[in-house]
Amino acid sequence: MLLIGLTGGVGMGKSTAADLLRQRGLPVVDTDVLAREIVEPGQPALDEIRRLLGDEVIDEQGCLRRDEVARQVFANETLRAQLEAITHPRIRERWRAQADQWRRDGHARGVVVIPLLFEVQAESEFDTVICLACSAATQRRRLLDRGWSTEQIEQRIHAQWPVEQKMARAHFVIWTEDGLGVHAEQLDRILNTLAGTSQS
């Protein structure tokens, strides 16, 4: 099975690409979804995060207050590293298990969406890496449209590698500046190239 890693800067089109890949019949697992699953009530990671960040990160229903977690860790690199030490190994364990299941099921290709793929040094686990990218101005506009403050945007961008660095390390780049149709065309060209590579 060809395992594809999908990455890119925040707000640069990873979710859109994942949806397009699902529409084309590829199985996709998104590590942002896994990150939410591992902190659900009853999960060990939730208790560890409570001990790290305090009771204020848990709401009245016993669920993680993601906004409060973000407020704390994006302003403190040490705390963010400690949080990532709790969450990243669990997330990796889950997407590896999903990839193993795809192999057992006989899938020809599978996709893992990992925003911090290069930052967590996961590239060696993938046969190919696709990076989604756009201009800094478009990125900021998209994040403002999500309701993020300028401070939140800068904190999240600072927490990731520059997209130029990700583009340089990736096997393929999709430029998401020009709308869904162009995005889809670029993705299809990459999939056709990969299909030819896997058959050779």
Q: Which residues contact 89 (CB under 8 A, 6 or more apart)?
A: none
Mean pLDDT over 19-24 rounds to 97
Element (H, E) at 19: helix 14-23
Instruction: Please tell me the predicted confidence (pLDDT) of residue 200.
Output: 39
Reported as a single tens digit per residue, the pLDDT across 58-90 is 999 999 999 999 999 998 999 999 999 999 999
Query: What does the alpha-carbon distance between residue 117 and residue 31 come to, in Å, rounded to a whole number?
Result: 10
Question: Would you say 83 and 66 are in contact if contact means Cβ atoms under 8 Å apart?
Answer: no
Reported as a single tens digit per residue, the pLDDT across 24-39 is 999 999 999 999 999 9
| % pLDDT > 70, the chain | 98
Over 80: is that where the pLDDT of 167 sits? Answer: yes
The encoded tokens of residue 53 equal: 């960040």
Instruction: Please tell me the predicted confidence (pLDDT) of residue 75.
Output: 87
Domain ranges within the chain, ordered by starting residue: 1-27+109-195, 31-106
Query: What does the alpha-carbon distance between residue 72 and residue 70 come to, in Å, rounded to a whole number?
Result: 5
Mean pLDDT over 39-51 rounds to 96
Reported as a single tens digit per residue, the pLDDT across 101-129 is 999 999 999 999 999 999 999 999 999 99
- The C-alpha angle with vertex 97 and arms to 91 and 99, in degrees rounded to 5, equals 105
Instruction: Please tell me the predicted confidence (pLDDT) of residue 197.
Output: 63
Q: What is the mean pLDDT of the chain?
A: 94
Q: What's the pLDDT band for 196 if we cut at 50, 70, 90?
A: confident
Read out DSSP for 147-189? T--HHHHHHHHHTS--HHHHHHHSSEEEE-TT-HHHHHHHHHH
Considering the four listed CATH numbers 3.30.460.10, 2.40.50.1070, 3.40.50.300, 3.40.50.410, the one that applies to the domain covering 1-27+109-195 is 3.40.50.300
Query: What does the alpha-carbon distance between residue 119 and residue 24 come to, in Å, rounded to a whole number?
Result: 28
12: exposed, middle or buried (Cβ count in 10 Å: 0-12, 13-18, 19+): buried
Instruction: Please tell me the predicted confidence (pLDDT) of residue 13.
Output: 94
